[in-house]
Amino acid sequence: MATVVEELSKSVADVAARVASSVVGVGAAGSGFVTGPGQVVTNAHNLRGGEVVVTFADGRRVEGGAAGVDVDGDVAVISVDTGDAPALAWAPATPRRGDAVLALANPGGRGTRVTVGFVSALDVAFRGPGGRRVDGAIEHTAPLARGSSGGPLVDSDGRVVGVDTHRIGDGFYLALPADDALRARVDSLARGETPRRPRLGIAVAPPQVARRLRRSVGLPERDGLLVHAVEESGPADRAGIRKGDLIVSAAGAAVTSVDELASALVAADPAAPVELRVVRGADELTLAVDLGGQGTAHQGSV
């Protein structure tokens, strides 16, 4: 009679054998996986430009190009000749806490890795490459070598439940959930429809900095986001927002964090200017910002 360990070993080996040929190396230090003919999914942070070398499990190296990149969501689709590499299937549902998962990777094309772990938490948030909050991540315990980001997290049937993206230390890792929203985004990126989230084109300081600076110059303390840089000719600049302004509300919602401001911009009517309530010195004024032009994404910017 086979032991539990032997049965587990056989199950893992079987899944790895089925999935490995679909797992690729991306560039010099990333991973990805085939989701359709000519289509590879990876993390946005694995791409350094429009072109990238994709290494397949059989050693074949092919130059591909970015079909679409979502920097804020940290996901990208590469258009490349996938040859005979089969597409991985998406899992029909999000895994539960305690479910066993396998993490596969091909770090920079240096060979396929497979590890086993368990889902430890759901709906975890982290910061994407552009500083935006990414919600809904799957936390799991399958160890990942450096260069594994972009590889698939699969269930016991070899179906994709997530895209590994972020190491959080202490043996825990995060994966973007392969839910309906991610699949729709992958389809959109594959068509070249790179998303453009609304941006003001400013860099801001947190409320505690704003309170300290206002107190130091004898002004009443207010909660809000202190503007410490304005992109030239960006939406905020055109609306008259200045360095030193304190943004206290956007589209009628009070804002005390970058996440609240970003959420207010996303929820606002894209066809109409967004009203920002701004404190400038001792004065309070309302400015209408046309988001038709987009600011450049930088860490800590909106």
Q: Which of 155, 190, 225 is the last residue of a domain?
A: 190
pTM of the prediction? Answer: 0.77
Q: Tell me: do 206 and 185 sit in the same domain.
A: no
Mean predicted confidence (pLDDT) in 172-201: 90
Q: Which of 190, 220, 235 is the last residue of a domain?
A: 190
- Residue 279 belongs to a domain: yes
- Residue 301 belongs to a domain: no
Place of tokens 């699949």: 183
For residues 42 and 32, the answer to whether their CB atoms sit within 8 Å is: yes
Quick one: DSSP state of residue 296? P
CATH number of 122's domain: 2.40.10.120
Output the pLDDT for position 148: 94
Q: Tell me: do 133 and 234 sit in the same domain.
A: no
Task: Indicate the pLDDT class of residue 210, thresholds 50, 70 and 90.
Answer: confident
Q: DSSP letters along 30-69, please?
A: EEEEEEETTEEEE-GGG-SSSEEEEE-TTS-EEEEEEEEE
Burial of 145 (0-12, 13-18, 19+ CB in 10 A): middle
Q: Residues near 202 by Cβ (< 8 Å), separated by ≥ 6? A: 227, 229, 230, 231, 234, 236, 241, 295, 301, 302
Q: Is the pLDDT of residue 298 over 70?
A: no
Lowest mean pLDDT among 137-141, 163-167, 181-185, 208-212: 208-212
Residue 17: give the domain boundaries: 4-190
How many domains does the chain divide into?
2
Q: Residues near 33 by Cβ (< 8 Å), separated by ≥ 6? A: 22, 23, 24, 40, 41, 42, 88, 104, 150, 151, 152, 160
Q: Tell me: do 258 and 124 sit in the same domain.
A: no
Output the pLDDT for position 48: 87
Mean predicted confidence (pLDDT) in 151-168: 94
Q: What are the distances in angstroms from CA 81 to CA 20, 41, 85, 107, 251?
A: 17, 13, 9, 19, 46
